Structure 1
Amino acid sequence: MILRYVIVCFIALSFVACDKGVKPAKKDGFLKVDGQNFVDSKGRQVILSGINFISKDPNEKYMPLQGKETFEQFESWGFNCIRLGIIWDGLEPEPGQYNEAYLKEIDKRIEWASEHGLYVFLDMHQDLYGAKFSDGAPDWATLDEGKPHQKGAVWSDSYLISPAVQAAFDNFWNNAPAPDGIGVQDHYVKLWQHIAMRYAHNTTVIGYDLMNEPFMGTSAQEVMPLMLGAYAQVLAEETGQEPPSADELGAMWADEESRLKALELIATKEKYSKVVDAVYDLSAKFERTHLQSMYQKVANAIRQVDTNHILFFNHNYFVNTGVSTALEATTLPDGSRDPQVAYAAHGYDLVVDTKEVENPSYERVEFIFERIAESGKRMDMPVLLGEWGALHGKSPKMVETAQHLVNLIEKYDFSNTYWAYYGDIADYPYFQDAIIRPFPQVISGKLISYDFDFETGEFFMQWDEEAVNQAPTIIYLPWLSSINEEISIKPESEKLETEQIKNSDAGWLMVPPTEKGGTRTMTIQFLLQDKEEYLILEQ
């Protein structure tokens, strides 16, 4: 296909440097937090959009096998941020001994990201606590007291039914001594300090995601009785019958088929909130004590060696379901609030990791995202949706599901990193027809709203431009050859610069400020048929 965006752009606006323009500047300063926004070194608001990049496989030495060319793909897909998973088992195979070879592999991925204009934040990942059960802590730090490990219908059921997993978490929160006599949590804190010291002056690295989906341990045994009890009341109200017994509820939840059937009852916001809010007090107690304390210890250690990077806080495991988080910002040594903190929430519907993943309750998902947005405002932090999606399959329904999630991300102006990258992800329709989309990467001022209409192909953006900031607004455009004549920007700019990304139909549109400030709007119309034709030819 002949790229014809040079011709059509001149119809409405004056474009320059369409072929070899001024590429968006490499990261020349630290990304910072300003209230509920991320801002770059020029004071512009930044929307982060990217993907999780991780290997949980010790046979791969906990590092994805894909090379530098994958980061070139990330750039062409419009990603400007990577959540790079790192594994405690790979970092500290023996107490106090750090794996320099693994750290150098991390260094390499950070450098590749830098070469392609991508930010990186490091995610200390765990699932079911440690490598003994899934991934995360090394065996020497997994103090399970010899208790049995049990598995359920879904992998995550082990959080609720495995005495070994729960004991390991209990001992972590209680800082029980590791084999060398040092508390296991203290080891974790020192590891984070070692990592922070290494990247303290690296501007590609934006921060540290301190723990993936922290789990409360044995006290989680109280969660399901509370949730199922609330579910029983909702069921009784719906049917007018006596609520089922505890044994009947337990049997229903233990079987995947009956569990998925039961979820149909709580598909509305009103009914669902009654179930998840039943565990708020228990969840908040854990977060206000054990989790907040651990985050503060890690923050203290990091701030001794690194005051530049953002600390990302993930809520506890059960908050993924829409329970409100009780977390607060950590503090500095003088007791003041640490200004460089952000909320790295995760948002999934309850059908994730099941065969019904493409049939979520849209109301339930909307409720979960509303709660995340409310918590971000309460804590006065930017929200970076660290995980969302986990989609698979190539059906039209999966595309619809993905587009619904993207619409919510745009509604709340969330930064985000999709879960997760895999080798043939570009072959999936939901990826090409939902995740790849135009969006504002950098805004000279403050974003008011933006939206991409998947049906009409119209991109709309509105922002308050700052007169004092003369750096351009930068918008990622995935299909330069499919831009229609209907482009408008008000107030107009004299010149708009574009750059096409190498080996791609994508590029950036750079909008210079008017020097007057005030509200600006932009509309770009894409011809979706042309976009589809290009993708076919590209493949």
Structure 2
Amino acid sequence: MPSVTETITAKAASSYLSLQNGDVNPPCSMLRVSGTKIVNTAGQQVVLKGAGLGGMLNMENFITGYSGHEFEHRAALAEVLGQEQADFFFDRLIHHFFTEADAALFASLGFNCLRVPFNYRHFMDDDNPDVIKQSGFELLDRIVNICAKYNIYVVLDLHAVPGGQNQDWHSDSGLNRALFWEFRDFQDRAIQLWEALASHYASNPVIAGYNPLNEPADPKHTRLLAWYDRAENAIRAKDPDHMLFLDGNTYAMDFRAFPVDKTLPNTVYSCHDYSMMGFPLPEQYEGTEEQKTKLRASFKRKVDYMQKAGVPIRNGEWGPVYQDPRTDTNAAATNEKRFSLLKEQLQIYREFGDVSWSIWLYKDIGYQGMVYVNPDSPYMKLIRPFVEKKQRLGLDFWGVVDKSEIDNVVYKPFIEKLKESIPSHLLKRKYPKIWTFDRQVERVVREILMSEYHAWEMAELFAGKTKEELEELAASFALENCVTRDQLNKILTEDAEISRAKTQ
């Protein structure tokens, strides 16, 4: 059951819709960079605070419960349900995932910016990539138009590109290699898409700006900078006014190759600031002075480039995950530590000035979202045994609760044997070098190979479902069928109010 600090929104959802447009957020106007600040057309500072809408137009395994990659998940359901029925389910899930009620809740919490990740596949078919699909614009337009009603800025975030811009599952390539950097055609396709997006959204004041590439990971570093130059030129030719939000290399954490004396005009450079002390790993946040110093040093390193270059600081993603009281008897105590970590990170962002941030994430099935699907909903009742099996097997890094049993029995002996064949000085040769050899194996074996097999297992749960049943499952993601994580939202709202008071 939800804890005492969480609210089932069935009764409350309708009240959010009564929120008047101007009650919280002033009307959107075209934003631009002015020195170290983001300002509106009147020259007033705007600090963008909100969340990422992951799991909707770019699905992720821990957010909606499947294993592996989105394209595999969609293909597996099509095999079980048939293409028409599978398309119906996904279309309805997308519809329910973010509605006007969600925007009203979002604004009522004091947030003024929604980062919208999307997958290139909504706009391009791999077998006919020259054609930009109108259906992709319709999906984005629906979100933008809803946000406009509540004066919520939108950052358009290309989260998955052809070939994959990084080695992780959320770039939806099915590989642990970022082929985007190795094939010029993939890079050209992403430019082509941004030209179409810039043409479509030029002069739209609801759009805060464009995030051309989420968490790029270019082993050579130089290809990313060259692509950013190309993207900036291509976008500006279609839309000279909107800001760009450029992520650092190596998952938005490394700006060492970025020239301080050559920043792109009207551009915000973005880091991501996840702390591993907020995940189910050995070191948990206890609030020690050593840990606080560690947090500050980590953020300082990530934003050193922005400070030296004299540009705004933006944290595009951050946030801990939370334990489920249904499966963890220590969940309440652990989650209090995660909330304390969250508060300390917010304090750090205030110390570094007017940092805009976008927490990850708005809605999911219970790990991290400000809002999550009710555990007693039809969808969660259907997939819960599968999710718990994924957790035991450690198939999703972000969805892990305790994988110690399978680690000790299977993976540790296996990995140690593999290590014996590799000279020790080569174990960290593979990029990203911050990943251990164990983590590299985990990504290939668990998060790619084993996850693909289990994607078929999850799909079988949907066998024989009628359209009415599929609609009921998809509607589990509607706000009225979800739970709000009140303690998290309260902490974030208080921080947003501090910023609003400073800039009014």
Q: TM-score, normalised by structure 2?
A: 0.57
Residue 40 of structure 2 contacts residue 46 of structure 2 at CA under 8 Å; is this kept in 1? Answer: yes
Tell me the equivalent position of 2:171: 136
Residue 45 of structure 1 contacts residue 442 of structure 1 at CA under 8 Å; is this kept in 2? Answer: no
**CA–CA separation in structure 2 for the residues paired with 1:20 and 1:118:** 13
Alignment counterpart, residue 296 of structure 2, candidates 363, 366, 377: 366
| CA-to-aligned-CA distance 1:186-208 (integer Å, 9 cap, x gap) | 11111111111110111100111
Higher gyration radius (CA): 1
Tell me the equivalent position of 2:305: 375
2:356 partner amino acid: S
Q: 1:36 to 1:121 in 2, by over 3 A?
A: same
Residue 46 of structure 1 contacts residue 441 of structure 1 at CA under 8 Å; is this kept in 2? Answer: no
1:70 to 2:102 alignment: yes
1:341 partner amino acid: T
Q: Which residues of structure 2 form unaligned runs of 5+? A: 1-18, 60-69, 75-89, 324-331, 365-370, 373-482
Q: The residue matched to 2:176 in structure 1 has which SS?
A: helix
Per the TM alignment, residue 111 of structure 1 is displaced from its structure 2 partner at its CA by 0.8
* Equivalence map 1:55-454=2 (5 Å): 55=55, 56-57=58-59, 58=70, 59=74, 60=90, 63=94, 65-94=97-126, 95-126=129-160, 129=164, 134-136=169-171, 164-166=175-177, 169=178, 171-176=179-184, 183-216=185-218, 219=219, 286-287=220-221, 289-317=222-250, 320=253, 323-328=254-259, 338-351=264-277, 353-355=279-281, 358-359=284-285, 361-393=291-323, 394=332, 395-412=335-352, 413-422=354-363, 424-425=371-372, 427-428=484-485, 430-439=487-496
Q: The residue matched to 1:50 in structure 2 has which SS?
A: strand
**CA–CA separation in structure 2 for the residues paired with 1:74 and 1:185:** 34
Q: 1:72 to 1:20 in 2, by over 3 A?
A: closer
**CA–CA separation in structure 1 for the residues paired with 2:153 and 2:338:** 28
**CA–CA separation in structure 1 for the residues paired with 2:230 and 2:139:** 27
**Count of paired positions:** 320
| CA-to-aligned-CA distance 1:361-415 (integer Å, 9 cap, x gap) | 4332211211233221122211111001143235321221111111112212210
**CA–CA separation in structure 2 for the residues paired with 1:90 and 1:198:** 15
Q: The residue matched to 2:38 in structure 1 has which SS?
A: strand
Per the TM alignment, residue 211 of structure 1 is displaced from its structure 2 partner at its CA by 0.9
**CA–CA separation in structure 2 for the residues paired with 1:118 and 1:406:** 21
Per the TM alignment, residue 319 of structure 1 is displaced from its structure 2 partner at its CA by 5.5
**CA–CA separation in structure 2 for the residues paired with 1:117 and 1:350:** 34
Per the TM alignment, residue 65 of structure 1 is displaced from its structure 2 partner at its CA by 2.0
Tell me the equivalent position of 1:44: 44
Q: The residue matched to 2:268 in structure 1 has which SS?
A: strand
1:406 partner amino acid: L
**CA–CA separation in structure 2 for the residues paired with 1:130 and 1:344:** 16
| CA-to-aligned-CA distance 1:239-277 (integer Å, 9 cap, x gap) | xxxxxxxxxxxxxxxxxxxxxxxxxxxxxxxxxxxxxxx
Residue 50 of structure 2 contacts residue 358 of structure 2 at CA under 8 Å; is this kept in 1? Answer: yes
Residue 130 of structure 1 contacts residue 136 of structure 1 at CA under 8 Å; is this kept in 2? Answer: yes
Per the TM alignment, residue 66 of structure 1 is displaced from its structure 2 partner at its CA by 2.9
**CA–CA separation in structure 1 for the residues paired with 2:313 and 2:358:** 11
**CA–CA separation in structure 1 for the residues paired with 2:21 and 2:344:** 34
Q: The residue matched to 1:165 in structure 2 has which SS?
A: coil
Q: The residue matched to 1:125 in structure 2 has which SS?
A: strand
Tell me the equivalent position of 1:156: none
Q: 1:39 to 1:345 in 2, by over 3 A?
A: same
2:197 partner amino acid: I
Q: 1:291 to 1:357 in 2, by over 3 A?
A: farther
Q: Which residues of structure 1 form unaligned runs of 5+? A: 1-18, 143-148, 150-163, 177-182, 220-285, 332-336, 444-460, 463-472, 475-539
**CA–CA separation in structure 2 for the residues paired with 1:175 and 1:402:** 39
State the percentage of identical aligned residues: 21
Tell me the equivalent position of 1:527: none
2:99 partner amino acid: G
Let me know the Cα RMSD of the aligned residues: 3.2
1:174 partner amino acid: E
Q: TM-score, normalised by structure 1?
A: 0.54
With CA pairs under 8 Å and 6+ residues apart, which has the higher RCO, 1 or 2? Answer: 2
Residue 271 of structure 2 contacts residue 316 of structure 2 at CA under 8 Å; is this kept in 1? Answer: yes
Q: Which has the higher helix share?
A: 2
1:99 partner amino acid: K
Q: 1:108 to 1:26 in 2, by over 3 A?
A: farther
Residue 343 of structure 1 contacts residue 382 of structure 1 at CA under 8 Å; is this kept in 2? Answer: yes
Per the TM alignment, residue 328 of structure 1 is displaced from its structure 2 partner at its CA by 4.0
Q: The residue matched to 2:494 in structure 1 has which SS?
A: coil
